């Protein structure tokens, strides 16, 4: 049964899931699917993880929501934990990734005005995705996302991805720049990995110019790439971090973390959220972080991610049409030489949930709890799907 009372914002697939357990989902007819999408990198612990279920149930039975008009003890506990893991000083909690990026953008503008810059400008990059609010879709480097929503906002300067000279060029000619906003791995853009050397050079450049280095870790954060945060692969520390997706294990929560001068920009009344950081969402996030630590899921993400990439490279070696297999941890892309959106339905019929982004990149972002059996099943199914598709099209 479908409904005509939903706004037509999604091209939904013809399947509805009614329950989940571990790395698997079941539809209305009882068919089982291996989940390699995880709610688009959200379900870090898989489905119905006992630790997360227990934490949510206990908090729901105690206190779901109060207000940011008062102290929220769970929120304070979560801020302490995230700052300890990231090296940041303060946290602002919201409900989603676009809100976390929106907070970062507002923080940067306020930071710039505090320095006497009339039109503070943020450098963003091509193929980026930062969200769908007006500010974040303006920051997003995709005309497909922006089309029809003009006029876009001013205050952004766009440069090519992984081009430090382009940023130096902007620095020479635009004295209104206050920050750089960038993903350590572009998710929607096609699993494009920012080299560690680039990030180190960017840190140096930001320090020299007095800019804030702001990292969109909405998809890469909370263990997705095998470290708590993507920037930890590069050995640099940003000024601002945007988080969401995996943070609540499926319960909506986002966070904007900051350190140093950036952490002192917001003052009472300058920003806020009605629901952000309520006790229920924070309890879920704390349980997610505790479970990642207790079950060594950072190590698991590295181990299983390496195994998936190695398995796919072996199975697809020499197959014409496969351009690249790349990624970090459990954030994996298979780039083909042609659009391949139809593979989502083919894989689903075969019992595996995958995603295609940037038209020609198969995106795999499975739960961090994957075991060897799930790795083997994913590799065998995806390799068959890709091989058959390319051979039929040849």
- Of the candidates 288, 379, 241, the residue with the CA atom closest to the CA atom of residue 43: 288
CB-based contacts of 169, cutoff 8 Å, min separation 6: 159
Q: Which residues contact 193 (CB under 8 A, 6 or more apart)?
A: 184, 185, 326, 327, 328
Contact 184, 192 (CB under 8 A): no
Angle at 272 between CA 268 and CA 273, to 5 degrees: 150
266 annotated as ligand-binding: no
What residues contact 153, with CB distance under 8 A and at least 6 apart? 134, 135, 138
Tell me how far apart the alpha carbons of residues 304 and 316 are, in angstroms, rounded to a whole number: 18
Phi first, then psi: what are they for 179, rounded to 5°?
-165, 160
DSSP 3-state of 47: strand
Is position 229 annotated in a ligand binding site?
no
Distance CA 261, CA 146 (A): 32
**Is there a binding annotation on residue 217?**
yes
Q: Is 86 within any annotated ligand binding site?
A: no
Other beta carbons within 10 angstroms of residue 35's beta carbon come to: 25
Annotated binding site for N(2)-acetyl-L-ornithine: 132, 273
Annotated binding site: 129, 132, 216-219, 273-274
Annotated binding site for pyridoxal 5'-phosphate: 129, 216-219, 274
């Amino acid at each position: 049964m479908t409904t005509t009372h939903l706004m037509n914002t999604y091209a939904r697939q013809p399947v509805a899931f009614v329950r989940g357990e571990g790395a698997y989902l079941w539809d209305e007819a009882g068919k089982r699917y291996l989940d390699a999408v995880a709610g688009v990198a959200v379900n870090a612990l898989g489905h119905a993880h006992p630790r997360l279920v227990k934490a949510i149930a206990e908090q729901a039975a105690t206190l779901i929501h109060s207000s940011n008009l008062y102290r929220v003890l769970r929120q304070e506990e979560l801020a302490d934990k995230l700052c300890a893991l990231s090296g940041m000083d303060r946290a602002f909690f919201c409900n989603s990734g676009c809100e976390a990026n929106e907070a970062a953008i507002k923080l940067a503008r306020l930071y710039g005005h505090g320095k006497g810059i009339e039109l503070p400008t943020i450098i963003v990059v091509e193929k980026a995705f930062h969200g769908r609010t007006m500010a974040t879709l303006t920051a997003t480097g995709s005309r497909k996302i922006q089309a029809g929503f003009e006029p876009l906002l001013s205050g952004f300067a766009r440069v090519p991805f992984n081009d430090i000279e382009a940023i130096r060029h902007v620095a020479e000619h635009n004295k209104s720049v206050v920050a750089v906003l960038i993903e350590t791995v572009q998710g929607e853009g096609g699993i494009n990995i920012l080299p560690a050397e680039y990030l180190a050079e960017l840190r140096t450049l930001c320090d020299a110019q007095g800019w804030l280095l702001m990292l969109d870790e909405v998809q890469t954060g909370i263990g997705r790439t095998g470290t708590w945060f993507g920037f930890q692969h590069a050995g640099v520390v940003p000024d601002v971090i945007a988080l969401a997706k995996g943070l609540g294990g499926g319960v909506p929560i986002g966070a904007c973390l900051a350190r140093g001068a950036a952490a002192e920009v917001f003052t009472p009344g300058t920003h806020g959220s009605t629901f952000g950081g309520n006790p229920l969402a924070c309890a879920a996030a704390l349980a997610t972080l505790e479970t990642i630590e207790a079950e060594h899921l950072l190590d698991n993400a590295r181990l299983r991610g390496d195994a998936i990439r190695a398995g796919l490279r072996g199975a697809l070696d020499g197959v014409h049409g496969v351009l690249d297999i790349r990624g970090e941890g459990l954030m994996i892309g298979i780039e083909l030489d042609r659009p391949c959106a139809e593979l989502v339905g083919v894989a689903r019929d075969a019992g595996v949930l995958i995603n295609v982004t940037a038209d020609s990149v198969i995106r795999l972002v499975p739960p961090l709890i994957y075991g060897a059996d799930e790795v083997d099943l994913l590799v065998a199914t995806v390799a068959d799907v890709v091989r058959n598709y390319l051979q039929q099209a040849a």
